[in-house]
Amino acid sequence: MIDGVVTNAKGEPIADAVIVAVPEARLRGRTDRYRKTVSDQSGRFTLHGIPPGDYTLFAWESVDGEAYYDPEFLKSCEGQGVALHVNEGERKSMQVQATSVAGEQP
């Protein structure tokens, strides 16, 4: 399980942000390995049932549909996520800074 808070660049909590745990590159074709949630009014979130492995945790103020399944979209977000490793039965607490808008491709 991963829990935490989503903030903006000023460190203020963001409500209704989309948080996605994206699996390591070799597993990105398996949508069952992704976990998604939305932050509450105080910016807090919880992701349950995350299989052990390596992930990148992304947070967006908004995202178009399920753009995070698109490898090209994820390339455009590189460097904006937080890398983490999850072990069996482990609980992690994170603070993640959200990017403003996702999925708006030129």
Sequence-distant (≥ 6) Cβ neighbours of residue 35 within 8 angstroms: 2, 20, 21, 47, 48, 49, 50
**Cβ 15 vs Cβ 105: under 8 Å:** no
Tell me: pLDDT of 6 over 50. yes
35 Cα distance to chain centroid: 8
Residue whose entry in the numeric block shows the structure tokens 């800074």: 97
Which residue segment(s) compose the domain that 63 sits in? 2-102
Number of domains within the chain: 1
CB 65 within 8 A of CB 75: no
Tens of pLDDT, residues 51-64: 999 999 999 998 88
Using CA atoms, how far residue 16 sits from 26, 34, 41, 53, 106, in Å, is 29, 19, 7, 26, 25
pLDDT in tens, 21-49: 999 999 999 999 999 999 999 999 999 99
Cut 0.85: pTM above it: yes
The CATH number covering residue 32 comes to 2.60.40.1120
